[in-house]
Amino acid sequence: MYYDSKLMKQKTLRGKGTYPEKIVRRILTDEGIKYYLNVKSLPGKPDVLIKGTKKIIIINGCFWHRHACKQSLIPSKNQSSWLRRLQYNQMRDFFVLTQLVLLGYDFIILWECEIKNNSTQFLTSLLIDFLKSDEKYSFINTKRKEQHD
């Protein structure tokens, strides 16, 4: 099952949270996993903290968090000021993630494009793997892609 991007843009406007955030929440709810949202007591107010664990799910917009994908292309107008702003975001992200690791939290970053381009089934297994894993997920540099064949 795939999500139509136009539909997604419309849906983003309604209710709380972006569409990618809602997809993640729905997966967790469907799997019976309890969670907290936008945890104010932790650095960077992480999007999702799994109840009773030190596991965090971070849902990043590709443009604002500088994902190396098509959606993160910088507009040609005012390029240097965009770059400064986005580099600041990147540095802040790095600082926040470092703090979370030092506090003993583990995290997975889900990118907007990743959520849009993969099936719910794939995202569910990705999250289940992360929640079950004893390894430090935050240090695993994986290229996550769904296999279509």
Given candidates 8, 33, 39, 69, which one binds Zn ion under the rule CB under 5 A?
69
Given candidates 62, 100, 110, 115, which one binds Zn ion under the rule CB under 5 A?
62
Our CB check for Zn ion shows the closer of 42 and 109 to be: 109
Q: How many beta carbons lie within 10 A of that of residue 133, not counting itself?
A: 13
Least Å distance, CB 54 to Zn ion, is 26
Q: For the residues of 18-82, what is the DSSP string, one character each?
A: -HHHHHHHHHHHHTT--EEES-TTSTT--SEEETTSSEEEEEE-TTTTT-SSGGGPPPSTTHHHH
Using alpha carbons only, give the angle 112, 113, 118 rounded to the nearest 5 degrees.
Answer: 110
Least Å distance, CB 15 to Zn ion, is 23
Among the listed ranges 11-19, 37-45, 57-65, 79-87, the one in contact with Zn ion (CB under 5 A) is 57-65
Contact status: 56 vs Zn ion (CB under 5 A): no
Q: How many beta carbons lie within 10 A of that of residue 84, not counting itself?
A: 10
Binding positions for Zn ion, 34-53, rule CB under 5 A? none
Selection from 15, 23, 21 nearest residue 45 by Cα: 21
Binding positions for Zn ion, 86-125, rule CB under 5 A? 111, 113
Least Å distance, CB 20 to Zn ion, is 10
Tracing tokens 């569409």 back to the chain, one arrives at: 19
Name the site residues for Zn ion (rule: CB under 5 A): 62, 67, 69, 71, 111, 113
